[in-house]
Amino acid sequence: MRYLLSEEELADERDVVTLRQLGREAAELLGLDRQDQVRLATALSEVGRDVLAGGGSTVLVEVVTEPAPGELLVTMTSRYELAPDGAVDAGGVPAARRLVDSVQVAAGPAGGSVVVLGKRLPVRGGWNRHTLDDVRGALSRPRKATADDELRIQNLELVRTLDELRTRSDELARANEELEETNRGVLAMYNQLSDELEETNTGVVALYAELDERSKQLAAANEAKTRFLRNVSHELRTPVNSILGLASLLAESALDDEQRVQVSYLEGSSRALLAMVNELLDLARAESGRQEVVLADVDLGPLSAELQGTLLPLARPGVALDVQVPPGTTLRTDRDLLARVLRNLLTNALKFTDSGHVRLTAAPDESGEHVVLRVEDTGLGIDAEHVERVFEEFYQVPNRLQPSVKGTGLGLPYARRTVEALGGDLALTSEPGRGSTFVVTLPVGSADGAPVHADQERLQPLLARVLVVDDDDAYRQVLRGLLGELAGSVVEASDGQQALERLRASTPTLVLMDVRMPVLNGDAVLAAMRRDPALEHVPVVLLSSAEPLRTDDLPGAVFVAKRDLARDALLDAAAAAGLSAGQA
Ligand code: ADP
């Protein structure tokens, strides 16, 4: 929708001056700023002059009210044709294009041209009829400006514009100065920072040099300590061994009771000394990295059972030694070294636990690349401040059980070194009053399931149905563990009477039986078996923690001391029993 503000004639030079005035006033009344007022006025006088040269015309000044916010349109129609749109490169039209938002030149009626200049109005909530009526009223006043008046106004505008330009350029100069200042500041800061950085770098380099020096000194001190340990312990072993030999010679000579007691003390002390010297030697070897590592596929089941068997006697009353190692947990490692580490950890756990349990578990980790062995106890626990220190040589934690137990403080440093030599690590977590957990993580290596030894395969018929007889639950667990996957089936009995019942219910291929049991002893069961034609030839391995029995007159029976019990010893005894019973 358009609203007509004014309609003028363009007939001579004076009309151009009036058109210029009209344009400036209209722009001012419609809210354009001063610069836009000058721009519009100049554009109108430039184009007006061209149109006048083209024969003059009428000029329409209109406002497009919709769509809001509106546009001021000035339409001039010349009688003769002006240069067509786009081809105009001289005169008023190109100048006007730089001053207003749009200039369109089109062919007009009767061979003339129509020029339309457009100027967008400021956003101001739209124009309504009333406000535009007011603008039209104001514009309709008569004008009688001369070219001189207009020139003065133009000069004034020029001066104002120049003033504004100067203000702007002053502002620009100030902004530039500020920028330069900021730049200088930034540069200064950068220089300071790089100076500081350089200084710090020099400091760090010096620190590293010092650290290097210190670690060289430390390594040298460590080397000296290891040499000392190795040489001294080596030198000590020979005389201690001589003392031991002499003490046992002395024990066999004619002595009175008191002398005998004194010699036994001598022997006990030298044994303790020898054990300590041996530990020192082990540690020195582990520290110097000269520990010989012999890798083999190791089945942790029987290994754990052996440890359980030999360490059970160390458990305090009321403390259970529990082993949870799933059958077939295998890895490639040094069996003897691993056994020593675990023996160390289990012995410690048993020493410092006076109620609850000590538990050994083993299982592959999530990745399947490691086996994680845990020795967990419900004992005294270790304060946080001592947790790392227990891995130092000779370090012992002061606690209420310490005075009553034997120890050198060398076991844990040895264990850690050895686990590291096996490619793993040893960690400790502990809660005082609740217990400790030592975690050994070892690589599985290229174990492909510990292969059953050829000799062991031959034993399989003998191990098809094994009867295990012992009144000690834990010991039955040990025997099961030692047999591991070699045994076909294992039946248990907890006393002699029960053993006879099980024997009569189903004949086993092998009997592993404790000697001393409530109700009926092992040797009595054996005698009953030998009288029974159905059981006469069943091979029997007798186990005892006491001195060996004479089994010569008991065909098919072989004796093993519990304290020597290891898998190989057990299997050898089973094979011997099988042979003498004519079964294997
Ligand atoms: P030690 O020969 O004294 O047992 P270790 O190096 O094996 O030497 O252990 C160092 C010390 O760490 C022990 O003396 C003991 O104080 C503490 N310790 C080790 N294991 C345990 C545990 N399971 N519970 C509580 N304390 C322990």
**Number of the ligand 1 atom closest to the C-alpha atom of 347:** 4
pLDDT in tens, 184-216: 999 999 999 999 999 889 889 989 999 999 999
**Number of the ligand 1 atom closest to the C-alpha atom of 414:** 6
Ligand 1 is surrounded, with C-beta below 6 A, by 344, 348-349, 352, 377, 379-380, 382, 390, 395-397, 402, 407-412, 436
Contacts of 99 (CB under 8 A, 6+ apart): 39, 40, 42, 43, 46
Fold of 296-443: Heat Shock Protein 90 (3.30.565)
Fold of 186-290: Helix Hairpins (1.10.287)
Instruction: Give the containing element (helix H, strand E) for 418.
Output: helix 411-421
The predicted model gives 383-396 an average pLDDT of 92
Q: How confident is the model at residue 88 (pLDDT cuts 50, 70, 90)?
A: very low
For CATH 1.10.287.130, the residue range(s) in the chain are 186-290
Q: How confident is the model at residue 73 (pLDDT cuts 50, 70, 90)?
A: very high
For CATH 3.30.565.10, the residue range(s) in the chain are 2-145, 296-443
The whole-angstrom separation of Cα 308 and Cα 312 is 6
Provide the 10 A C-beta neighbour count for residue 411.
21
Whole-number Å distance, alpha carbon 292 to ligand 1 midpoint, is 25
**Could you tell me the CA-to-CA distances from 10 to 15, 90, 149, 185 in Å, in that order?**
5, 21, 19, 62
E strand map for 378-486: 425-431, 435-443, 465-469
**Number of the ligand 1 atom closest to the C-alpha atom of 399:** 16
Domain 456-581: top CATH class: alpha beta
The amino acid sitting at 316 is R
Ligand 1 pocket check: which of 282, 390, 406 to mutate, most ligand atoms within 8 Å of Cβ? 390
The whole-angstrom separation of Cα 403 and Cα 394 is 15
Whole-number Å distance, alpha carbon 396 to ligand 1 midpoint, is 6
Whole-number Å distance, alpha carbon 332 to ligand 1 midpoint, is 28
Question: Nearest to residue 349, comparing CAs of 338, 339, 340, 360?
Answer: 360
Residue nearest to atom 19 of ligand 1 (CA): 348
Whole-number Å distance, alpha carbon 8 to ligand 1 midpoint, is 113
Residue nearest to atom 9 of ligand 1 (CA): 409
Query: Does the structure show a pLDDT above 70 at 452?
Result: no
Question: Nearest to residue 481, comparing CAs of 314, 344, 309?
Answer: 309
Whole-number Å distance, alpha carbon 564 to ligand 1 midpoint, is 26
Tokens of 467: 């009867």
Whether the bond between 313 and the residue before it is cis, its omega within 30 degrees of 0, is no
| pTM for this predicted structure | 0.55
Whole-number Å distance, alpha carbon 114 to ligand 1 midpoint, is 108
- If you write DSSP's letter for every residue of 341-395 in order, what string do you get? HHHHHHHHHHHT-SSEEEEEEEEE-TTSSEEEEEEEE-S----HHHHTGGGSTT-
Ligand 1 pocket check: which of 347, 396, 402 to mutate, most ligand atoms within 8 Å of Cβ? 396
Output 74 or 271, whichever has higher pLDDT.
74
For CATH 3.40.50.2300, the residue range(s) in the chain are 456-581
Contacts of 333 (CB under 8 A, 6+ apart): 295, 296, 298, 422, 442, 445
Whole-number Å distance, alpha carbon 317 to ligand 1 midpoint, is 20
Output 355 or 69, whichever has higher pLDDT.
355
Whole-number Å distance, alpha carbon 397 to ligand 1 midpoint, is 7
Whole-number Å distance, alpha carbon 408 to ligand 1 midpoint, is 9
Domain 2-145: top CATH class: alpha beta
**Number of the ligand 1 atom closest to the C-alpha atom of 410:** 6
Whole-number Å distance, alpha carbon 545 to ligand 1 midpoint, is 28
The whole-angstrom separation of Cα 220 and Cα 213 is 11
**Number of the ligand 1 atom closest to the C-alpha atom of 391:** 6
Residue nearest to atom 11 of ligand 1 (CA): 396
Q: Give the range with max mean pLDDT: 143-147, 525-529, 561-565.
A: 525-529
Whole-number Å distance, alpha carbon 348 to ligand 1 midpoint, is 6
Ligand 1 pocket check: which of 360, 397, 399, 434 to mutate, most ligand atoms within 8 Å of Cβ? 397
Look up residue 330 and give its DSSP letter.
E
pLDDT in tens, 352-378: 999 999 999 999 999 888 999 999 999
Tokens of 547: 């001195």
**Number of the ligand 1 atom closest to the C-alpha atom of 398:** 16
Residue nearest to atom 8 of ligand 1 (CA): 409
Strand order in the sheet with 356-364: 319-324, 356-364, 370-377, 435-443, 425-431
The predicted model gives 293-321 an average pLDDT of 91
Query: Does the structure show a pLDDT above 60 at 453?
Result: no
Residue appearing with tokens 């059953």: 452
- If you write DSSP's letter for every residue of 248-304 in order, what string do you get? HHHHHS---HHHHHHHHHHHHHHHHHHHHHHHHHHHHHHHTT------EEEEHHHHH
Provide the 10 A C-beta neighbour count for residue 542.
24
Residue 86's pLDDT is: 43
